[in-house]
Structure 1
Amino acid sequence: MKNGWTNFVIGTVRIRIVGKGIERFLNNCVRQQIMISNVHKVDGQLATATILLKDVKKIRILIRNADCKIYFIRGRGFPFLTKRVIKNSGFALGFLSFFIILGLLSNMVWKVEISGAEPQTEHQMTKQLAKIGVKRGEFQFLLESPEKIQRYLTDNMNNITWVGVEVRGTSYHFQVVEKNEPKPQQKTPYQHLIAKKKAIITNLFVEKGQPLVKVNDFVNEGEVLVSGIIGNEKNKKVVAAKGKVYGETWYKSEVEVPLKTDFQVLTGNGYTKHYLDFQAFKMPLWAFNKEKYGSKVTEKVEHPLYFFKWKLPLSYEKVAVREEQNSQRVYSKQEAVEKALEIGRKKLLSTLGEDAKIKGEKVLHQEQDNGKVRLSIHYQVIENIANTQPIIQGD
């Protein structure tokens, strides 16, 4: 039995042979091609030997015709090891479960710490983090990467300038830099309302002050619309002029729209794979979909695994695969013109005040060149043109 590994897999049995016919029994074993080894003769009627587990039934038949008896001393190899494991399965499962649970607990979020923020900002950030699952008791490998968490907080919180995200074992640490909004400057209690641009007056709503213009008047930039000095020469009073003065103003915009545009769009098809990354190789956990797409977008998120505070040489990896396809948008000349007008309106309104509205528009110039439509557009806008100007003592 020189092949130790094969014998371990098959299993071996150590036997004791007692009686006068030991030699006859051993010779019969050789004739039946029963592999027997490690024969040790103690005396004329006692010997020990090792046989393969699969030959036990043959030995039982041969011993009937021999003037001796056999006794089984012990068994070795995989079959006996398996039997002992099954016999002690409760202990083995408990031991294995203990380490699995301990490993899972080592990869949960047990602490979320926020520093550098006021209590109100900290409370707001805690609520935002809870929306994406960053809270106590969640598994770290199911959360987004620190970079995505940082981007989410920056995009959804207007009162922070920057936030740093650091993962230390089972804790998430956030370092916050809040916005330092400048204190509003104290305005003088006395002021005029002046025109901030050229316009034709369309309407006035004066709460305080003396109007100096009327509807349909043309005003230049800087011209006083509502005076903060009221009364007559004998009884003058200075106040803070307040109100809104609407006027018709004019803008010019250049818009360009291509007739053909190529871009990539997601089809909605896709799948997600999960792996345990052992550095040398990756073991798939579930989602064994091997569907191949002609064009695809792949996003990988990797989470290191920990045992207590020690980082293990393996990690959990989530791979999202999304199918995409080429698409082409084609406009006719008329459609391109309409799209350019729509883009121009949206672009202009984004730069105006909330109560501003476009009264009219006119295409000054239109051309088609190199697959693009270019428009030069003139707009008539109704907006509040009033701006404040402090009244300096002595005016």
Structure 2
Amino acid sequence: MKNRWIIFFSGIITVKISGKGLERLLNTLTRNGLNIWHVRRQGVESITFKIKLTDVKEFRKYVRGSGLKVSFFKREGFPFLLKRLLHNSGFLVGAILFIFIILLLSNMIWGIQVKGADPATEYKIHKELDKMGVKVGRLQLFVENVEAIQRQLTNNVEEITWVGVELQGTTYHLQVVEKNEPKQPEYLSPQNLVAKKKAVIVDMFVEEGQAVVNIHDSVDAGQLLVSGLIGKEGQNVQVPARGEIWGETWYRSDVELPLKSTFQVFNGNEKRKYYLKAADVKIPLWGFGKVEFKEYETETNEKNIQFLKWKLPLSFVHETHRDREVETRIYSKEEAFRVAKEMAKLDIKNRLSEDAKIKGEKILRQSLDNGKVTLSIHFQIIENIAEGQPIIQGESE
């Protein structure tokens, strides 16, 4: 029968009629628009069929005075189900509370395990986690995702180089790599040290091998600096040449900076919304209404809801809408050249190793055209120019 769900919510009664004139009654019912179905004969003078609860009153009118015996022996559908639930409301409330408590406990943080960190660093990590709200007993739904936790720990705890964060069930597992971890000894095969680039040598420290250049020497890229062949002629021994050869090198940085520029900044206003998500449907829980900001950025944090060890097809969504404004920055000519010079230095530092130093600088060209500053700077850099090059089998000094 069509629309079975509608009939289910309206209620269904199974009716048994006994006596003579059954067919005549059935014809009367159908002729007057009453829906009956699942009609079955029960013996010679009895039949059963189903009828909607809403049609029972009308049915009684037609059966009254017919001399037939009528009994209602089966009740189905939502009205009767609700009645039974209300009758056993204590069990219903208990079951709902039990499921709710299990659901709540399944989505709480019950453990935080940190591996690879000494006690002092582990204490700092736990302190930082407390600031972020990642603590035992806190609901996972209101905690940042693992990527954000990992990023904040790496930025805020100076003692660690890297931390991996993984959520397994109700426990966060953190694997830490500390900065002060002892370096593993480096085992090198026999090699020479050669120049990485053109330079003038200003200082040198040879740990192993034979230096073949001196301070103030000018060298080209690929030129031999320290030989890995030591000993007398004909009795050479191959060793891994090691050391630092400091040379003066040269770099050029070109920077363009407009006097007037626009950019977007956050002004501190934000609106938060919370949803329960099932499939692609989001049901608002808190933070109703439209976002009234003209320009804004949305950050979404979605957490799956678990029941014991199973992930339910439900998730808790937290959206943060941050208001942003367009700012216009205008430099004077002097400010623009100063900022462009700082940008050039930053560009050079990003291209150098940490131990390299800027010895000097010289402005090659600076101009102001079409509202834009153009600056070219020549930098003198002191850096280690040595790099290893394997010794070819049979090579002699």
**TM-score bracket for this pair, using the shorter chain length:** 0.5 to 0.7
Q: Is the 8 A contact 1:273 1:284 kept in 2?
A: no
User: In structure 2, do the counterparts of structure 1 residues 131 and 269 end up closer, same or farther at CA, with 3 Å as the change threshold?
Assistant: closer
Counterpart AA for 1:112: I
**2:201 aligned partner:** none
Deviation at residue 26 of structure 1 after TM alignment:
4.3
Structure 2 vs 1, CA of residues 138 and 41 (structure 1 numbering), >3 Å: closer, same or farther? closer
Deviation at 1:28, TM superposition (A): 4.3
- Write the distance in 1 (CA, Å) between the matches of 2:181 and 2:54: 85
Q: For the Cα contact (< 8 Å) 1:34–1:55, is it kept in 2?
A: yes
Deviations 1:130-179 (A, max 9, x none): 11111101111211122222222232222333322222221112222333
**Could you list the per-position Cα deviations for residues 319-340 of structure 1 after superposition, in whole angstroms to 9, with x for gaps in the alignment?**
2222323221234568879x97
Query: 1:281 is matched with which residue?
Result: 280
Cα distance between partner residues in 1 of 2:318 and 2:102: 22
Matches within 5 A, 1:27-106: 28-37=28-37, 38=39, 40=41, 42-44=43-45, 46-106=46-106
Q: Deviations along 1:250-272, whole A, 9 cap, x unmatched? A: xxxxx998632321122444423
Distance of aligned partners of 1:368 and 1:173 in 2 relative to their CA distance in 1, 3 Å threshold: same
* 2:189 corresponding residue in structure 1: none
Partner of 1:388: none
Provide the residue aligned with 2:140 in structure 1.
140
1:175 aligns with 2:175: yes
Match of 1:262 in 2: 262
Alpha-carbon contact 1:304-1:312 (below 8 Å) kept:
yes
Question: Does the CA contact (< 8 Å) of 2:265 and 2:326 recur in 1?
Answer: yes
Superposed CA deviations along residues 9-52 of structure 1, whole A, max 9, x for unmatched, are 433322233455656644543453333441526345x5444332
Call closer, same or farther: CA 1:290–1:69 in 2, change over 3 Å. Answer: same
Is contact 2:256–2:374 with CA below 8 Å preserved after alignment? yes
Superposed, 1:202-213 pairs within 5 Å as none
CA 268–158 in structure 1, closer or farther in 2 if over 3 Å, else same: closer
Matches within 5 A, 1:1-395: 4-18=4-18, 22=22, 25-26=25-26, 28-37=28-37, 38=39, 40=41, 42-44=43-45, 46-180=46-180, 259-278=259-278, 280-286=279-285, 287-291=287-291, 295-331=295-331, 369-370=368-369, 371=371
Q: State the identity as a percent.
A: 45
- The letter for the 2-side match of 1:283 is K
Closer, same or farther: CA 120–60 of 1 in aligned 2, 3 Å = same
Separation in 1, partners of 2:36, 2:303 = 54
Secondary structure of the structure 1 residue equivalent to 2:43? strand
The DSSP-based 3-state class of the residue aligned with 2:325 is strand
Q: Which segment is superposed worse, 22-31 or 125-134?
A: 22-31
Gaps of 5+ in 2: 183-254, 347-365, 376-397
Relative distance call for 1:151 and 1:180 in structure 2 (3 A) is: same
SS of residue in 2 equivalent to 1:50: strand
Q: Matches of 2:277 and 2:3 in 1, distance apart? A: 35
Once the two structures are TM-superposed, the CA of residue 57 in structure 1 deviates from its matched residue by 1.0
Whether the aligned pair in 2 keeps the contact of 1:39 and 1:50 (CA below 8 Å) is: no
- The aligned amino acid for 2:87 is K
Q: Tell me: CA distance 1:68–1:310, structure 2 relative to 1, closer, same or farther (3 Å).
A: closer
Q: Structure 2: how far apart are the matches of 1:178 and 1:64? A: 90
The alignment partner of 1:304 has SS state of strand
**Residue of structure 2 equivalent to 1:383:** none
* Residues 164 and 176 in structure 1, CA contact (< 8 A), matched pair in contact too: yes
Give the CA deviation at 1:372. 5.9
Find the aligned partners of 1:160 and 1:51 in 2 and give their Cα distance. Answer: 73
Mapped partners of 2:276, 2:67: distance in 1: 61
Distance in 2 separating the partners of 1:282 and 1:91: 31
The answer to whether the 8 Å contact 1:275/1:282 transfers is no
Q: Is the 8 A contact 1:276 1:284 kept in 2?
A: yes
CA–CA distance in 1 between the matches of 2:328 and 2:14?
79
Instruction: Give the conservation status (yes or no) of the 8 Å contact 2:8–2:76.
Output: yes
Q: Structure 1 73/139 Cα, relative in aligned 2: closer, same or farther at 3 Å?
A: same
- Structural RMSD (CA): 4.1
- Distance in 2 (CA, whole Å) between partners of 1:31 and 1:306 is 54
Letter of the aligned partner of 1:296 in structure 2?
Answer: Y
Q: Residue 300 of structure 2 contacts residue 319 of structure 2 at CA under 8 Å; is this kept in 1? A: yes
Matched residues, number? 284
Q: Deviations over 1:57-91 (max 9, x none)?
A: 12333343323342221222333233333333432
* C-alpha contact 2:291 2:321 (8 A) present in aligned 1: no
> Using the alignment, how far apart are the partners of 1:309 and 1:18 within structure 2?
55
Q: TM-score, normalised by structure 2?
A: 0.58
Give, as a single letter, the amino acid of the residue that structure 1 aligns with 2:137.
Answer: G
Q: For residue 92 of structure 1, give the secondary structure of its aligned residue in structure 2.
A: helix
C-alpha change, 1:49 and 1:310, in structure 2 (3 Å) is closer
Distance 1:35 1:313 in 2: 39
